[in-house]
Chain A
Amino acid sequence: MSSIAVAQHENYLNTGLSWWAWLTTLDHKRIGILYTISITLLFCIGGTAAALIRLDLLTPHSELVSLETYNKLFTTHGVIMVWFFLIPSIPATLGNFLVPMMIGARDLAFPRLNLASWYLFVAGALCTIYALLAGGVDTGWTFYAPYSTIFSNSHVFAAAAGVFIAGFSSILTGLNFIVTIHEMRAPGMTWFRLPLFIWSMYATSLILVLATPVLAMTLFLMVIERSFAIGVFDPALGGDPLLFQHLFWFYSHPAVYIMVVPAMGVASEIISCFCRNQVFGYRFMAYAILAIAAFGFLVWGHHMFVSGQSAYAGTVFSLLSFLVAVPSAVKVFNWTATLYRGRISFEAPMLYALGFLGLFTIGGLTGLFLASLGLDVQMHDTYFVVAHFHYIMVGGSVMAFFGGMHFWWPKITGRMYPEGLARFSAVLTFVGFNLTFFPQFIVGYLGMPRRYPEYPPEFQVWNVLSSAGASILVFGYVLPLVYLLWSLRYGARAPANPWQAKGLEWETSSPPPAENFHSTPIVTEDAYAYPATESTHG
């Protein structure tokens, strides 16, 4: 069967071309693309805020923006990047596209709900963007009470409302994925034949469904308290501001795993493909994903070591936080073992995935510093923390997001991207990222607090290095945007399986037909059944 011929005929992209057809589509693949466009725009907003922050930090005194504006900039950066880019990044784009494809289904279980969650996402984003245009928010992305409830004069209500609405989009996506993975697997697709990307989507969905309602209600309480000047977070009446932090982190720590677990799934797919090896310890990889999701719910207190929570609570949270390192390490070691004696090739997705592997490892290991009670007292709220979570969220999640976008780009669009440029930008991103964030470990360890626009002059060299790195990172991100768009028109036509990868999504044409498969696939082998070859003995 000539899949190329099919690609040029009817597929999900070339039927129903009107705006109306796109905005009312129930096709998970198109909804994935709608999400991709939306979060790319929001990434640009969040990235612009980051660029302005780095520019301002070039000098020890805040010369570019006022102190008030600086507060609004880092809040904008945090709110947009966390809730409107990272949380939906891989699940809502690649996940939407791939979950039904990888399990051999025609669509998600609830296509209407899927479209509704995109509209909720857009409504939430517009609400938050309104808050920014109306004058901004200055609470930090954490919205801590009582500052957010009593003192801040900025547009807390609209920003929080946006996050609240987008939360329902998360919940519905998670619900849809869980039901789909449970109910709609193709014949022969048993649980332990699922690609690890599906396991990662499953674990992520569990977190989305179980953690997001807590955030929604907490923000609701915060906004009510702000509006009526009474509430359980207000110490003046006998309320407890720490309660807000507990509830907030009960969501927001698992939220970190919403961001990074999907990245782990992407990395597993890419690494096994480009070293032609089965993922080492497949079952343990699946268990590790679930373990990370489960432990993630038990460690929120490590964000509050210096908040005044009891030393006993602090000790328990510290110990539990160390526990997360175990499944994380299992994953890193297994990826490494997958590479061992593989026939490795360095296409752009692989470069991104290897970048993910290195950066996630550094981010994870520095997390252990912060999970230690004593060390955290020194490092809490310094740039060490900022560097740590950027290694996880940007070094881990964003690298994997770009890797995944390149890997599945031929499948999604039916076009190949320019390989040379893509490799260049993968390397550029890696270099720019490290130059941006590694100095922040050092300056943070030396004592520079986060969220301040001014710092002692002896810290300037680290800040200049970091800002220089950020300027490289900008090119690392803009370049793919340019050549990927270019490839939509001028890229070579993609064959059904340009990487000779395993997985059901590669068995159908590129781009796939609206119903994904011409006939329902039947699965007869494990995931990643790459043929064992002579070279593995060499």
Chain B
Amino acid sequence: MASGVAAIAPQFDDAEQQRSASNLGIWIFLATEVLFFGVLFAAYAITRVRYPEAFAAGSRLTNITLAGINTAVLLTSSLTMALGVHAAKEGARRALVAWLCLTVALGVGFLAIKAVEYRFDYLEHLVPSVDFVYPAPQADQVELFFYLYFLITGVHALHVLIGIGCIAVIAVMASRGAFSASYFTPVDVTGLYWHLVDIIWLFVFPILYLVSRS
């Protein structure tokens, strides 16, 4: 295979059809992701409407400093990813590899900070069903808040992890010259996924960390 040229799969007529199919495919996949998370957000919304005080109290116990830093880290990673796609479009291989590596590094940083945050949560006895102590009224409902907190951030972190894996693979492919200005669909598609994971965090952050901090 010539370097940086799309191998057109036998079912496609031309590179344009192949690119268009991949793009539609990833958008449909992103729609399924939205519905996937939609269940978690619906569960959150219904429970919060019922217990607003408990959710406010729970939210105040979350670690807003680390989460705030993490938000900045993840948003920056979306920027580096977008710059990576731009570099791919220009056919700038070294810049592409550099931006992708930076995106991976930021993603790993996000997970590392998240892990530290989980550790603090554990030390403060905020892990439902494992070690949860809340010596004030509505302890059960606050526990439900933290159940949702771990569930939503956990599922999100899993998506970040998958994203890191995909971008790492793309970075290796890019360093081997698999892409060019005329063919970079995998970079584009992975970028879209990464942005979605980022956008989901933009919903996760306020509903978990900012409930009564306005």
Contacts and interface: CB of A to CB of B under 8 A. Distances in A.
A109 B40 contact: no
A515 B10 contact: yes
Contacts, number: 107
Contacts of A520: 13
Contacts of A105: 11
Contact of B21 (A174, A183, A218, A239): A183
B159 to A, nearest CB: 13
A406 interface: no
Nearest to A240: B46
Interface stretch (B27-35, B95-103, B105-113, B160-168): B27-35
Interface residues of B, number: 37
Interface stretch (A153-161, A205-213, A270-278, A529-537): A205-213
Nearest to B38: A214
Contacts of A106: 10-11
A230 B147 contact: yes
Interface in B111-163: 128-129, 140-141, 143-144, 147-148, 151
6 contacts: A179-B24, A209-B31, A217-B39, A236-B140, A239-B47, A240-B46
Nearest to A238: B141
A175 B38 CA distance: 19
Contacts of A240: 46-47, 50
Interface string B31-72: 111011111101100110011001000000000000000000
B30 to A, nearest CB: 11
Given A183-B24, A224-B151, 18 more contacts: A105-B11, A106-B11, A109-B11, A175-B29, A179-B21, A179-B24, A179-B28, A180-B21, A183-B21, A184-B12, A184-B21, A214-B36, A216-B36, A217-B37, A217-B40, A229-B129, A232-B147, A247-B42
A178 B147 contact: no
Contacts of A101: none
Interface of B: 9-13, 17, 20-21, 24-25, 28-29, 31-33, 35-40, 42-43, 46-47, 50-51, 54, 128-129, 140-141, 143-144, 147-148, 151
B190 to A, nearest CB: 16
A108 interface: yes
Given A212-B32, A232-B144, A238-B141, A111 B24 contact: no
Contact of B144 (A109, A214, A238): A238
The residue among B11, B31, B50, B51 with the most chain A CB atoms within 10 A of its own CB is: B11
Nearest to A239: B144
A316 interface: no
Nearest to B144: A237
B55 to A, nearest CB: 11
B20 to A, nearest CB: 6
A221 B39 contact: yes
Interface of A: 100, 105-111, 171, 174-176, 178-180, 182-184, 209-214, 216-218, 221, 224, 228-232, 236-240, 243, 247, 515, 520
B35 A230 contact: no
B47 A232 contact: yes
Given A217-B36, A232-B148, A109 B21 contact: yes
Nearest to B141: A238
A210 B32 contact: yes
A107 B11 CA distance: 5
Contact of B25 (A109, A218, A237): A109
Nearest to A244: B43
Contacts of A237: 140-141, 143-144
Nearest to A227: B129
A237 B37 CA distance: 23
B144 A178 contact: no
Please list the 5 inter-chain residue pairs (A to B) with the smallest Cβ-Cβ separation, ordered nearest first: A107-B11, A217-B39, A213-B36, A213-B35, A228-B129
A240 B45 CA distance: 12
Nearest to B47: A232
Nearest to B151: A224
B143 A184 contact: no
Contact of A230 (B25, B29, B51, B143): B143
Contacts of A211: 35
A182 B35 CA distance: 22
A145 to B, nearest CB: 12
A505 B119 CA distance: 60
Given A182-B24, A184-B21, A230 B144 contact: yes
Contacts of B144: 230, 232, 237-239
A299 B195 CA distance: 33
B145 to A, nearest CB: 10
Contacts of A180: 21
A110 B129 contact: no
B139 to A, nearest CB: 9
The residue among B29, B43, B47 with the most chain A CB atoms within 10 A of its own CB is: B43
Nearest to B39: A217
A183 B32 CA distance: 20
B8 to A, nearest CB: 12
A238 B50 contact: yes
Contacts of B12: 109, 184
A171 B40 contact: no
Contacts of B148: 232
B52 to A, nearest CB: 12
The residue among B17, B28, B37 with the most chain A CB atoms within 10 A of its own CB is: B28
Nearest to A109: B21
Nearest to B11: A107
A431 B86 CA distance: 65
